[in-house]
Amino acid sequence: MSNDTLTNPELDERVTRSGPIHTLTRRMKEGQLGVMPVILALIVIVIVFQSINGNFIAPSNLVNLSTTVAYIGILALSINLILLLGEIDLSVAALGGLAASLMGILLVRDGHGILFSLVTLLLLGVIVGLIQGWFFAVVGIPAFVVTLAGLLAYMGLTLVVLGEQKNLSMSGTFASDLASFYFPAIYAYIMGAIVVIVYCVGQVVGRIRRANAGLEAPSIVWIGIRTAVLAFVIFAFLIIVNQDFGLALPFVMLMGIAIILDLTLRKTKYGRSVYAVGGNVEAARRSGIRVTWIRISIFMLAGGLAAVFGLVKAGVTTNAGSTLVTTTDLLNAIAAAVIGGTSLFGGRGHAWAPILGALVVGSINNGLYLIGFSSAGQQITTAIVLLAAVILDALSRRGQRNVGRGG
Q: 343-372: per-residue pLDDT in tens?
A: 888 888 889 989 999 998 999 999 999 988
120: pLDDT strictly greater than 50: yes
Burial class (CB in 10 A: 0-12, 13-18, 19+), 80: buried
pLDDT, one tens digit per residue, over 257-309 is 999 999 999 999 999 999 999 989 999 999 999 999 999 999 999 999 999 99
Alpha-carbon gap, residue 222 to 227, rounded angstroms: 9
Beta bridge partners of residue 319, listed in sequence order:
169
Q: At what angle do helices 114-134 and 92-104 cross, to 10 degrees?
A: 150
Give the residue extent of every domain in the chain. Answer: 56-180+274-389
Cα separation values, 13 from 7, 74, 311, Å? 10, 42, 52
The helix or strand, by DSSP H or E, that contains position 247, with its residue range, turns out to be strand 247-248
Are 356 and 342 within 8 A, CB to CB? Answer: no
Q: What average pLDDT does the segment 201-227 reach?
A: 88
Give the count of alpha carbons within 13 A of 48, CB side only: 13
Are 62 and 248 within 8 A, CB to CB? Answer: no
Burial class (CB in 10 A: 0-12, 13-18, 19+), 239: middle
Taken in order 7, 9, 12, 14, the sign of the CA dihedral is negative
pLDDT, one tens digit per residue, over 377-407 is 878 887 888 788 778 777 766 766 665 555 4
Pairing relationship of beta strands 182-183 and 247-248 according to DSSP bridges: antiparallel
Are 173 and 312 within 8 A, CB to CB? Answer: no
Residues 6+ apart with CB under 8 A from 279: 346, 347, 348, 407
